[in-house]
Structures are given as structure tokens and as C-alpha cells.
Amino acid sequence: MGGRKIGVAVDFSSCSKAALRWASTNLTRSGDQLVLIHVNSSYHNEQGAVQLWEQSGSPLIPLAEFSDPHVAKTYAVSPDKETLEILNQMSNQRGVEVLAKILYGDPAKKLYEAVDLVPLSCLVVGNRGLSTLKRALMGSVSSYIVNNATCPVTVVKENI
């Protein structure tokens, strides 16, 4: 029996790193695939290869390639050192296969689509802890995903 495909939404913010750490510590186990889901919402000025993946997103990118700055640039993404360290630790110490999927467009819509596109067993997202008023005015990616995704969703607060 194969492992699970666990999605973690990452925008390289501190709250998405908290979600990644939480998934690493509390959810992943040897044999699982962790699929880093990154949505690039400001790709419109990018040329070339990105246009190939605009509809369905990038292919699943192995961690070694995702860590290469030249490859990351091809997908119009720039992962930070801390995120890569967390991913490498998960891969090396926990026996988890780490892959990345880059999507382009509206984060809430694309994360929702990723659940079935990949497909994911579950999805972990960070939460910036916006007040009810701010969430009502600005919308919330995590609220949208929790209410619409077809798999279990865990929302991780940054301050854990």
C-alpha cells in the first residue's frame, strides 16, 4: 500500500512555514509524499515556460530540482533557505518524498483545484489569524479551502 499525498500550501511566509513544520512533526510518516503547493498570483509578467503551465500548473517537481535556483526561476518561484531546510530535513530524516507543484492564479481557487488535480489525501494551510472583520473585508484563503475542499483540511495558526 502506498503512502499518502499530503499537500501543504506554502507562500514562504512565516505562517506557511509554521504549517510546514506542523505537517512535518504531526502528520507525515515514512512512505508519504509531501506535495508543496505554491500558488504564484503575480506571474502575469513572466514569459516563456510559465505560460505552458498556466492552466494545470507545473509538473510535480522533485525536491532536488525545486532547490536549484535555476530550476525554481523557470517556474517563477524563489523558495527561501528556511523552507528548503525544513523540506530537506523532512526528506532525509522522516523518509518522506518531497515534491512541489506550482500553480498560477488566484490562491484560493488554485489550492481548491490542487486537491483533485494532484490528488491530495489532505491539505495543510497556514492562517495569518485575521480578525473576523478583516477576513470579511479581504476574504480568506484558508476559510475558502476549509469550506470547499473535497479532502480533510488542517489550518495551522502561526503562533504554535
Provide the grid cell at 152.
Answer: 480533510
Tell me the DSSP string of 26-91.
HT--TT-EEEEEEEES--TT--THHHHTTTT-PPPEEHHHHTSHHHHHHTT----HHHHHHHHHHH
Q: What region does 46 belong to: left with phi over 0, alpha with psi -120 to 50, or beta? A: beta
Residue 108, domain extent: 5-157
CA distance 114 to 78: 20
Please identify which residue in the block is written with the cell numbers 503512502.
3
| φ, ψ at 7 (rounded to 5°) | -90, 140
Q: What is the pTM of this model?
A: 0.88
Q: What average pLDDT does the structure give for the chain?
A: 87
CA distance 59 to 121: 18
Q: What is the structure's pLDDT at 138?
A: 45
Three-state SS for 94? helix
CA distance 159 to 15: 8
Q: How many domains does the chain have?
A: 1
Q: What is the structure's pLDDT at 158?
A: 76
Percent of residues in the chain assigned helix, strand, coil, to nearest 5: 40, 20, 35
Please identify which residue in the block is written with the cell numbers 515514512.
30
CATH number for the domain including 132? 3.40.50.620
**Residues of the chain predicted below pLDDT 70:** 1-2, 43-52, 129-139, 159-160
Q: Which amino acid type is present at position 135?
A: R
